[in-house]
Amino acid sequence: MNVHAVRTIYMYELARAWRTLFQSVVSPVISTSLYFVVFGAAIGSRITEVDGVAYGAFIVPGLIMLMLLTQSVSNAAFAIYFPKFNGTIYELLSAPVSSFEIVLGYVGAAATKSVILGLIILATASFFVPLQIAHPLWMVVFLVLTAVTFSLLGFIIGIWADGFEKLQFIPLLIITPLAFLGGTFYSIDMLPPAWQTVTLFNPVVYLISGFRWSFYGLTDVSILASLVTVSAFLAACLAAVWWIFRTGYRLKA
Amino acid sequence: MDDGTAVLRDTDTGAGTVAEAAPQPDRASQRPGSALHITGLNKRYDSGFRALEDVDLDIRHGEIFALLGPNGAGKTTLISIVCGLVTASGGTVAVDGHDIEREFRAARSRIGLVPQELATDAFAKVHATVTYSRGLFGKPPSPAIVERVLRDLSLWDKRDERLMNLSGGMKRRVMIAKALVHEPRILFLDEPTAGVDVELRREMWELVRRLRDDGVTIILTTHYIEEAEEMADRVGVISQGRIIVVEHTTELMRQLGRKQLTLHLQHALEAVPPSLHAFGLELSGGGRELTYTYDDTSDRAHIPELLRALDAAGIVFRDLHTQQSSLEDIFVRLVRDSNP
């Protein structure tokens, strides 16, 4: 194991986040705060509560998940796309590092950033609404699992993308709609029955449901289904990354 | 001092310790085995283009080896396979005895690569990006080595600059620093002096000599044949994915000594008279030009004898000129002959 290399990639990527502090941390915090103002205070005041939880507090786990998904994907995608774009990937490919170590460095850094961001948003939210966390350990488990899984997805997208358009494509056209329709702002039993069934095919529903359960003990789907979904998605991403490095897809001629 | 920390050491600091520390023209015999051993290397791209065909190459420890070839000959593909950027279609490559696939860590940790294209992280600072390279190659942090490499490349004053604020020449220096900071035993320089000003070119050759004196094997590709002549111990000529010739530079220089004497005749000849056959003359220009090819570095030039024999045969010439073939001519001829 090339520990120096893993640490080097990890620290370099975290330093990059520090260099771009505004877009890495400040802008997601600002946009989340805007959601609280609009949905929590303005609209939320008309909605009393969902399953006994004040609406402002109800949307907190979903909002954190929304940011966690989009930031994990875009952080990791950009981190590996950038060296491909500017040509510095040659150094990574010629270094005595295994694919596992490369993934550990990049995905580890992206997931760390996302988890820190999630905790910052959680702290921000506590200024707006009274929060309770029923299962703190499970909350961390969901936070980390989701951050790692979606950072892996972002890593795959960053390797697949051969232009900035594609780099934006999946986060914008797939992740954001899935997150919005995944029960961030509502409980799925508020939907008409037909849409409830459709929604069950959205993997993000399971993530948000599991995460919300760790706060309030409320679930849209069973907690086991949530864990299985995240784990299955994690396994799929790992398999894809394994295949990418095995074949050199979009990395080696 | 361990084996690895001596890469950029000035040659005089080692004086008096061991006799071998002094620069020697041929250090290849000092270490057994090959720095780079390539057998039957093939590369066929998905497009069907065959970039390399059955390449065999053996590069000795401590030599400077120049790979010469026209554009698209396969030079960069060859380097890229050795460094792990391109996957070979067949054949084996061993770096210092370590297979590049099975023992990729051992192989790659010995290699430093300076690619042809300027590829830099524009937002990174010089010191940070060079430090990063050392870590990536598995070496523990060493501010002293980073400083020495930066000073050697006149980058120390620029250490806190972002790469985007540097000139092209400075960026090239940064790329060299990145390749050297993990103290490689084999350095690949892909077209190192393309688009580089005279001063940097001179400094670069100075650096290459110093590295060689420290036992680093240097493999470079270049279009500047004079530089290959001046710097390289051996030259390999590659064309259309095949290695045509691998030769000591001095041997190629001996070939460079070949000269031609052309005589423009008063009257056209139908054939070279038998009395002149011993000179191996060539008749051309409608029988009006006689060409004598000779080697002026040996005793084989017989110009006075030729002139006397011409006189005896009653052949009158009205003009003559001599022409010396350059390494470039040899190179062009080699490439042409290999691709009829």
Q: In the predicted model, what is the mean pLDDT of chain B?
A: 84
DSSP-derived secondary structure letter, A50: E
Q: What is the CATH number of the domain that holds B319?
A: 3.30.70
The confidence score (pLDDT) of residue A93 equals 94
Judged by DSSP in three states, A53 sits in strand
Nearest CA in chain A to B112: A94
B164-179 average pLDDT score = 93
- Percent of chain A residues topping a pLDDT of 70: 100
Q: Which chain B residue has the Cα nearest residue A85?
A: B119
Confidence of residue B114 (pLDDT cuts 50, 70, 90): very high
Please say whether the beta carbons of B136 and A92 come within 8 A.
yes
B32 contact A CB<8A:
no
B31 and B124 housed in the same domain: yes
CA distances from A159 to A22, A82, A154, A176, B135 (A): 25, 10, 9, 20, 23
**What per-residue confidence (pLDDT) applies to B300?**
60
Residues B51 and B115 in one domain: yes
Identify the helix (H) or strand (E) that includes residue A49.
strand A49-50
Q: Determine, for residues A93 and B85 on separate chains, whether the beta-carbon distance falls below 8 Å.
A: yes
Interchain CB contact of B140 with A (< 8 Å): yes
Asked if B276 and B232 sit in the same domain, the reply is no
According to DSSP, residue A252 is labeled: -
Q: A250 touching B, CB under 8 A?
A: no
**Is B329 inside a domain boundary?**
no
Confidence of residue B299 (pLDDT cuts 50, 70, 90): low
Asked if B148 and B233 sit in the same domain, the reply is yes
Q: Does B138 contact chain A (CB < 8 Å)?
A: yes
* Per-residue model confidence (pLDDT) at position B15: 34
- Cα distance from A82 to chain B (closest Cα, Å)? 8
Domain residues for the domain of B292 are 258-324
Average pLDDT of span B243-248: 90
Query: Is residue B310 situated within a structural domain?
Result: yes
- Based on the domain organization, do B61 and B154 belong to the same domain? yes
Which residue is associated with the tokens 């006189």?
A: B311
| B62 reaches A (C-beta below 8 A) | no
Inside any domain, residue B333: no
Q: For residues B155-162, give the mean pLDDT.
A: 96
Residue A91, min C-alpha distance to chain B (Å): 8
% of chain B surpassing 70 pLDDT: 85
Contact B121 A82 (CB under 8 A): yes
Domain shared by B13 and B135, yes or no? yes
| Predicted pLDDT of residue B1 | 35
Residue B80: list chain A partners with CB under 8 A.
253
Q: Which of residues 9-68 of A touch B (CB under 8 A)?
A: 9, 12, 15-16, 19
Using the 3D structure, point to which of B253, B282, B303 is the last residue of a domain: B253
pLDDT at residue number B28: 44
* B340 domain-assigned: no
Amino acid type, B131: T
H/E element holding A172?
none
**Which range is least confidently modeled, A43-52, A185-194, B56-65?**
A43-52
Whether residue B257 is predicted with pLDDT greater than 70 in this model: the reply is no
CA-CA distance, A249 to A237, in Å (whole number)?
15
CB contact under 8 A, B135 and A248: no
Instruction: Tell me if B199 is assigned to some domain.
Output: yes
pLDDT of residue B5: 36
B190-214 per-position pLDDT tens digit: 988 777 788 888 888 888 999 999 9
Q: Whole-angstrom Cα distance, residue B340 to residue B328?
A: 18
Instruction: Measure the N-to-C terminal CA separation of chain B; round to a whole number of Å.
Output: 54
Task: Specify the pLDDT at position B30.
Answer: 52
Indicate if B27 and B108 belong to the same structural domain.
yes
Cα B83 to the chain's mean position, in Å? Answer: 17
CB atoms within 10 A of CB B40: 13
The answer to whether B221 touches B177, Cβ cutoff 8 Å, is no
Nearest CA to A138 out of A7, A227, A25 is that of: A227
Contact B123 A19 (CB under 8 A): yes
Range in A47-56, B140-149, B304-313 the model is least confident about = A47-56
pLDDT of residue B14: 34
Give contacts of B138 with chain A, Cβ < 8 Å: 2, 4-5, 95-97
Residues B83 and B32 in one domain: yes
Which of A39-53, B10-24, B90-104 ranks highest by mean pLDDT? B90-104
- Which pLDDT score, from 0 to 100, does residue B228 have? 80
Sort out which chain B residues have CB atoms less than 8 A from A253's CB and list them: 45, 80, 85-87
- Structural domain includes residue B236: yes
Domain boundary among B237, B253, B269: B253
Write down the pLDDT at residue A68. Answer: 92
CB contact under 8 A, B135 and A5: yes
Residue B277 has pLDDT above 90, yes or no: no
Among candidates A90, A97, A98 on the partner chain, residue whose Cβ is nearest the Cβ of B119: A90
Please give the Cα distance from B319 to B262 (Å, whole number). 9
Tell me whether residue B336 is in a domain.
no
pLDDT in tens, B115-155: 988 898 999 999 999 999 999 999 999 999 999 999 999 99
Query: How far off is chain A from B15, nearest CA to CA, in Å?
Result: 33
Q: Which residues of A touch B133 (CB under 8 A)?
A: 91
B178 in contact with chain A, both atoms CB, cutoff 8 A: yes
- Measured between alpha carbons, how far apart are the two ends of chain A, in Å? 26
Cβ-defined contact of B136 to A93 (cutoff 8 Å): no
Handedness of CA B131, A90, A78, A105 (dihedral sign): negative
The confidence score (pLDDT) of residue B327 equals 63
Kindly list the residues from chain B whose CB atom is less than 8 angstroms away from the CB atom of residue A7: 135
Of A82, A95, A252, the CB nearest to B86: A252
Check: CB of residue B189 under 8 Å from CB of residue B196: no
Q: Which of B120, B139, B178 sits opposite A86 (nearest CB)?
A: B120
Give yes or no: residues B186 and B221 share one domain. Answer: yes
Contact B136 A15 (CB under 8 A): no
Q: CA B186 to CA B93: how far, in whole Å?
A: 14
pLDDT digits (tens, 9 = 90+) for A120-170: 999 988 888 888 899 999 999 999 999 999 999 999 999 999 999 988 888
- Give residue B339's pLDDT: 66
Tell whether the model's pLDDT for residue A81 goes beyond 90.
Answer: yes
Domain count of the fold of chain B = 2
**Dihedral, B45, B48, B49, B54 alpha carbons, nearest 10:** 80
- For residue B337, being part of any structural domain is answered with no
CA-based nearest residue to B238, from B339, B99, B130, B131: B339
How many whole angstroms separate alpha carbon B36 and alpha carbon A26?
51
pLDDT attached to residue B23? 38
* Backbone φ, ψ for residue B266 (5° rounding): -70, -45
B184 touching A, CB under 8 A? Answer: no
Determine which of A139-143, A245-249, B54-58, B248-252 has the lowest per-residue pLDDT on average.
B248-252
- Candidates A12, A87, A253; nearest CB to B86: A253
Q: Which of A111-125, A238-252, B165-179, B286-300 has the lowest mean pLDDT?
A: B286-300
| A131 compared with B100, residue with greater pLDDT | B100
Whether B65 and B50 share a structural domain: yes
For residue B32, pLDDT beyond 80:
no
* B327-339 tens-digit pLDDT: 667 777 777 777 6
Reported as a single tens digit per residue, the pLDDT across B132-141 is: 999 999 999 9
Distance from CA of B129 to the nearest CA of A (A): 9
CB within 8 Å: A248 and B140: no
Q: How far apart are CA A179 and CA A67, in angstroms?
A: 9
State whether B171 and B245 are in the same domain. Answer: yes
Q: Which of A117-126, B75-84, B300-309 has the lowest mean pLDDT?
A: B300-309
* Nearest chain B residue (CA) to A88: B119
Identity of the highest mean pLDDT range in A27-36, B56-65, B198-207: B56-65
Q: Which residue's entry shows tokens 């600002």?
A: A30
Mean pLDDT of B219-235: 83
**pLDDT at position A76:** 95
Asked if the C-beta of B164 comes within 8 angstroms of chain A's C-beta atoms, the answer is no
Output B323 or B262, whichever has higher pLDDT: B262
Which pairing describes strands B34-44 and B90-95: parallel, antiparallel, or unpaired?
A: antiparallel
Distance to chain B for A141, nearest Cα, Å: 30
Do the chains contact at A252 and B85, CB–CB below 8 Å?
yes
Residues B68 and B200 in one domain: yes
- At B21, the pLDDT band (50, 70, 90 cuts) reads very low
Closest CA to B208 of B236, B176, B181, B182: B176
B138 to A87: CB separation less than 8 angstroms, yes or no: no
**Cβ of A80 under 8 Å from any chain B Cβ?**
no
**Nearest-angstrom CA–CA distance, A99 and A101:** 5
Phi, psi of B111 (to 5 degrees): -105, 140
For Cα atoms B97, B101, B102, give the angle at the middle one, nearest 5 degrees.
70
Domain endpoint, select from B235, B253, B271: B253
At residue B20, does pLDDT exceed 60?
A: no
Residue B84's domain is classified under what CATH number? 3.40.50.300
Per residue, the 3-state secondary structure of chain B, as one string, reads CCHHHHCCCCHHHHCCCCHHHCCCCCCHHHCCCEEEEEEEEEEECCCCCEEEEEEEEEEECCCEEEEECCCCCCHHHHHHHHHCCCCCCEEEEEECCEECCCCHHHHHHCEEEECCCCCCCCCCEHHHHHHHHHHHCCCCCCHHHHHHHHHHCCCHHHCCCEHHHCCHHHHHHHHHHHHHCCCCCEEEEECCCCCCCHHHHHHHHHHHHHHHHCCCEEEEEECCHHHHHHHCCEEEEEECCEEEEEEEHHHHHHHHCEEEEEEEECCCCCCCCHHHHHHCCEEECCCCEEEEEEECCCCCCCHHHHHHHHHHCCCCEEEEEEEECCHHHHHHHHHHHHCC
Q: Which of B85, B100, B185 would best serve as a mutation to test chain A binding (most A beta carbons within 10 A)? A: B85
Rounded to a whole number, what is the distance in Å from the CA of A244 to chain B's nearest CA? Answer: 14
